[in-house]
Amino acid sequence: MRVDATDRDAAGVAVFAYEMGVLKRLRRAGWWHAGVRDPESVAEHSLRVAQFAALIASEEGGDPARAAYLGMWHDSQETRIGDIPHTARPYVDVASNERITEDQVAVLPEAAAKSIREAVSEYEAAETIEARCAKDADRLECLMQAVEYGEAGYKRITGWIASSRARIQTDFGRRLAEATLQTSPLAWRDR
């Protein structure tokens, strides 16, 4: 890390923030299999995951802020490894998200680094209600994005819907999946 600033903690956060900015340009690669020419970015996906995680946690009795925080960091490792589609996973040996996060946060002040490391570990372990809500939010966001792409005319999206739906664990997450499948993506305009 080349830093000209005298405040190393602030400089470390700046370096980390620039890396996280890559997520705005990194496309979700799996959608290319469905023929989507310009799929959503990882950052766009992560925003709705964090929003969904908070809403699901509210209904499941968890801490909405914590669930949103876990959802916000769940794909941050993709700045280093890209978005690897599920079809590629059997052929690629990738470090764990915890290991990648450890390298990413090395430039941060210790309190900030610890906060992100703990969030990623909690999300990956999926032992807390907040982590389960964030994982369901990830699946629901994929399901909802598939519905939106289907409405836009893309045909090969049913696999994403089925696999996302099958992995949802929370009661409210399952209810939300059903509502998502029965609601038009433009229903919000008609209210």
For residues 41-60, give the mean pLDDT. Answer: 98
Tokens of 165: 């739906």
Q: What pTM does this model have?
A: 0.93
Give residue 127's pLDDT. Answer: 98
> Sorting pLDDT into bands at 50, 70 and 90, what band is 59?
very high
Mean pLDDT, to the nearest integer, of 6-21? 94
Closest C-alpha to 80, from 137, 161, 16, 152: 16
CA–CA distance, 81 with 163 (Å, rounded to integer): 23
For 140-173, how does the pLDDT look when each residue is reduced to its tens digit (9 = 90+)? Answer: 999 999 999 999 999 999 999 999 999 999 999 9
Q: Looking at residue 3, what is its pLDDT?
A: 53
**3-class DSSP state for residue 189?**
helix
Output the CA torsion 62→67→68→72 (10° steps): 180
Number of helices and strands in the chain (H, E): 9, 0
Express each pLDDT in 66-76 by its tens digit: 999 999 999 99
Band (pLDDT 50/70/90 cuts) for residue 63 is very high
pLDDT of 9 over the 90 cut: yes
For residue 115, pLDDT beyond 90: yes
Q: Which domains does the chain have, with CATH numbers?
A: 8-184 (1.10.3210.10)
pLDDT at site 35: 92
Lowest pLDDT segment from 8-12, 16-20, 82-86, 109-113: 82-86
Q: What average pLDDT does the chain have?
A: 94
CB under 8 Å, gap of 24 or more: what pairs does 43-46 form? 45/75, 45/141, 45/142, 45/145, 46/71, 46/72, 46/74, 46/75, 46/76
Res 6: pLDDT: 66
Q: How far apart are CA 62 and CA 56, in angstroms?
A: 8
